[in-house]
A and B are shown apart, each in its own frame.
Chain A
Amino acid sequence: MNIIDWIVMLGTLLGIVAYGVWKTRNVSSVQSYLLGDRDLPWWTIGLSIMATQASAITFLSTPGQAYEDGMRFAQFYFGLPVAMVILAIFVIPIYYRLKVYTAYEYLEGRFDLRTRTLTAILFLLQRGLAAGITIYAPAIILSSILGWGLNITIFFIGLVVIFYTVMGGTRAVSVTQKQQMIVILGGMFIAAIILVYKLPANVSFGDAVGLAGKLGKLKVVDFSFDLNNRYTFWSGMLGGVFLFLSYFGTDQSQVQRYLSGKSLTESRLGLLFNGLLKVPMQFLVLFVGILVFVFFQFNTRPVHFNNANVAKLIGTPLEADYREYEEAYNLVQEEERALAEQIIAANRIGDEAALEAARAASIEVTAKAKNIRQSVEELILQQDPNSKTKDTDYVFISFVTTFLPVGLIGLLLAVIFSAAMSSTSSELNALATTTVIDIYRRSLVKNKSDRHYLQASKLFTILWGVVALLFAVVADLFENLIQAVNIIGSLFYGAILGVFLVAFFMKKIGGRAVFWGAILGEIVVVTIFLLDYYEHVNIAYLWLNLIGCALVMLFSWILETIRPQGAAAV
């Protein structure tokens, strides 16, 4: 990488960190550290919410997904604005009225201490493991692209985040996230402009969009009702509302963002700002992937985007086969290029017959290219059976490092690192807050000074940071670790959501029923998981979210009906 790119990347990242630390140098109370003095304006809250949700993997994977699968992933976010409105109406006023630090604190008033402690521990387990993956997943891609060691990349991201999160607490998280989000959005916008600028002289922006459309990449909305189709209007609107209600309403890493608002108004506006901007932002990120797709119709692309995998073949007896496939792939790309030009020419004059002929031929050539790519993947697996051959996460970053001008490479790498840091800092901050407020101060070490809890908050931030780093470092040793983390998340997330839904909407149910309802629900979920694991039943783990949530609500209702206790006054 050029020295200018290094200066831009490190200058941007460290500049943001220095600004965050300087702005939060006077944080001296536990309220200030964990809730940022509740003085943040709506735009900072909104950007902070967006930055927390958008991890580095979002900006690495999403353009690659559009490149491979088109724009339909945008529908995944269709339920988000509706969820933001529901939270603004029903949930934020409750948290504000009770002046809580954490979402779980509310559960003590509504139910009892043990329900609060149970949900807090479930959150800590799930988010503690996920924080390691938030660092590990982009580090594995960035280390491959930059040629850095994996552990160096993990420590670079982790230590910088731990430093400023410990120094300034939640305020540092929000202040840096605002800058990071500006860099992220600006960087993606500049990438889109450069991609348009880099199209061949005889291909206009309209031609490029027309070509992508004719090649089936621009189907944003699909109204068909098909339960097997992961991304449709209905799955986005129905499943999405449910998913985003639970994520934004009960996950402390998000709740903490809007609880640090200056007032209820600012918090509501921050959530609504997210509701307005999130879908267009995802559209922009996906559209960058489409532009990368069109760009590679006219420019030579590698047969496999992950250079680290290709390097495994070089110097081995399989290299000759690889070179053959590479040559064949380059020839197929020339055919693709000619057909792309034919499609554009036919589209310009509206010649439907010529358009259809070129499109049909293009589909055939694309299938040929896919076969060659699969053959290369088989070679990689032959050389190293543990390799991960899915390379779509590398498409965008390969384009960035190969085709962007000096300076912009550094800026786009800063975008990816910023995204990794912004989501990790929220997670560490939320983990420390939940540990101190819901466990340490409430049940373990009571009635100490504010200074004591401030120091404890800083120590727990370091502790969770170290846990995340260690987990990220050992993640490489376990092949299916990311899936394991997702499974652990699915085991607990449903129960947490179930408890909150009972709290919000089943007002007559008391603490005893919901606590035992949650325990029973969790036992059934774990049993179903074990039955599936030992192949007695066949249930995909994502369904455990829904099953866990429904069971907690059902068991709570049954237990309350059998032995009524009644709800607390809240």
Chain B
Amino acid sequence: MIESDNQEELDDRPPILYSWNNLYLLVLVAHAIIILLFYLFTRAYS
């Protein structure tokens, strides 16, 4: 097991949205929207 000495490799930025926090938020918000759509789908058809 070798520790990485390349800090840049570990601090890299995501290709979109400027920061990883923004990208994580995108995934969580998209997931919340999907659940909301499922809920509306359930309400509409049950």
A213 within 8 A of B: yes
A207 to B: closest C-beta gap in Å: 12
Are B14 and A279 touching (Cβ within 8 A)? no
A492 within 8 A of B: no
Known: A78-B35, A82-B31, A99-B4. A209 touches B45 (CB 8 A): yes
Are A82 and B28 touching (Cβ within 8 A)? yes
A336 within 8 A of B: no
A219 within 8 A of B: yes
A192 to B: closest C-beta gap in Å: 16
What chain A residues lie within 8 Å of B30 (beta carbons)?
81, 276
Interface size on B, residues (CB 8 A): 26
In whole angstroms, what is the CA distance A424 to B45 when docked?
Answer: 38
What chain B residues lie within 8 Å of A88 (beta carbons)?
20, 24
Known: A89-B24, A263-B9. A218 touches B46 (CB 8 A): yes
Return the CB mask of B21-32 against A: 1 if under 8 Å, else 0.
001100110110
Known: A85-B24, A209-B45, A269-B14. A280 touches B34 (CB 8 A): yes
11 contacts between A and B (CB under 8 A): A85-B27, A98-B4, A99-B3, A106-B1, A213-B44, A213-B45, A214-B45, A263-B12, A268-B20, A276-B30, A276-B31
A329 within 8 A of B: no
Are A81 and B1 touching (Cβ within 8 A)? no
A221 within 8 A of B: yes
Known: A96-B10, A265-B14. A85 touches B42 (CB 8 A): no
Closest 3 CB pairs of A and B: A213-B45, A220-B38, A81-B31
What chain A residues lie within 8 Å of B20 (beta carbons)?
88-89, 268
Nearest neighbor of A220 in chain B, beta-carbon distance: B38
What chain A residues lie within 8 Å of B46 (beta carbons)?
213, 216, 218-219
A74 within 8 A of B: yes
A242 to B: closest C-beta gap in Å: 17
In whole angstroms, what is the CA distance A89 to B30 when docked?
Answer: 18
In whole angstroms, what is the CA distance A220 to B31 when docked?
Answer: 14
A407 within 8 A of B: no
- Which residue from B12, B34, B42 sits with its C-beta under 8 Å from A219? B42
In whole angstroms, what is the CA distance A60 to B12 when docked?
Answer: 41
What chain B residues lie within 8 Å of A265 (beta carbons)?
12-15
In whole angstroms, what is the CA distance A263 to B4 when docked?
Answer: 12
Known: A96-B9, A265-B14. A74 touches B38 (CB 8 A): yes
B18 within 8 A of A: no
- Which residue from B15, B24, B38 sits with its C-beta under 8 Å from A283? B38
Chain A residues 177-232 with CB under 8 Å of chain B are 209-210, 212-214, 216, 218-221
What chain A residues lie within 8 Å of B27 (beta carbons)?
81, 84-85, 272, 275-276
Are B38 and A99 touching (Cβ within 8 A)? no
In whole angstroms, what is the CA distance A89 to B22 when docked?
Answer: 12
Are B4 and A96 touching (Cβ within 8 A)? yes
Are B31 and A279 touching (Cβ within 8 A)? yes
Given contacts A99-B3, A265-B12, 8 further A-B contacts (CB under 8 A): A82-B31, A218-B41, A218-B42, A268-B20, A269-B15, A275-B27, A276-B27, A283-B38
What chain A residues lie within 8 Å of B9 (beta carbons)?
96, 263-264
In whole angstroms, what is the CA distance A89 to B10 when docked?
Answer: 12
Are A85 and B28 touching (Cβ within 8 A)? yes
What chain B residues lie within 8 Å of A220 (beta carbons)?
38-39, 41-42
A100 within 8 A of B: yes
What chain A residues lie within 8 Å of B13 (beta carbons)?
265
What chain B residues lie within 8 Å of A283 (beta carbons)?
38
In whole angstroms, what is the CA distance A97 to B7 when docked?
Answer: 9
Nearest neighbor of A218 in chain B, beta-carbon distance: B45
In whole angstroms, what is the CA distance A283 to B41 when docked?
Answer: 12
What chain A residues lie within 8 Å of B34 (beta carbons)?
279-280
A467 to B: closest C-beta gap in Å: 28
B12 to A: closest C-beta gap in Å: 5
Are B45 and A221 touching (Cβ within 8 A)? no
A239 within 8 A of B: no
Are B31 and A97 touching (Cβ within 8 A)? no
A93 within 8 A of B: yes
What chain A residues lie within 8 Å of B28 (beta carbons)?
81-82, 85
Chain A residues 290-343 with CB under 8 Å of chain B are none
Are B3 and A97 touching (Cβ within 8 A)? yes
A89 to B: closest C-beta gap in Å: 7
A105 within 8 A of B: yes
A566 within 8 A of B: no
In whole angstroms, what is the CA distance A280 to B44 when docked?
Answer: 18
What chain A residues lie within 8 Å of B45 (beta carbons)?
209-210, 212-214, 218
Chain A residues 69-121 with CB under 8 Å of chain B are 74, 78, 81-82, 84-85, 88-89, 93, 96-100, 105-106, 108-109
Are A108 and B1 touching (Cβ within 8 A)? yes
- Which residue from B1, B15, B39 sits with its C-beta under 8 Å from A100? B1
Known: A210-B45, A213-B45, A264-B12. A221 touches B1 (CB 8 A): no
What chain B residues lie within 8 Å of A214 (beta carbons)?
45
Are B24 and A99 touching (Cβ within 8 A)? no
In whole angstroms, what is the CA distance A233 to B42 when docked?
Answer: 13
Known: A219-B46, A268-B20. A97 touches B39 (CB 8 A): no
Known: A81-B31, A265-B15. A98 touches B3 (CB 8 A): yes
Are B39 and A221 touching (Cβ within 8 A)? yes
Give the residue among B4, B24, B39 with the most A Cβ atoms within 10 A: B24
What chain A residues lie within 8 Å of B12 (beta carbons)?
263-265
What chain B residues lie within 8 Å of A280 (beta carbons)?
34
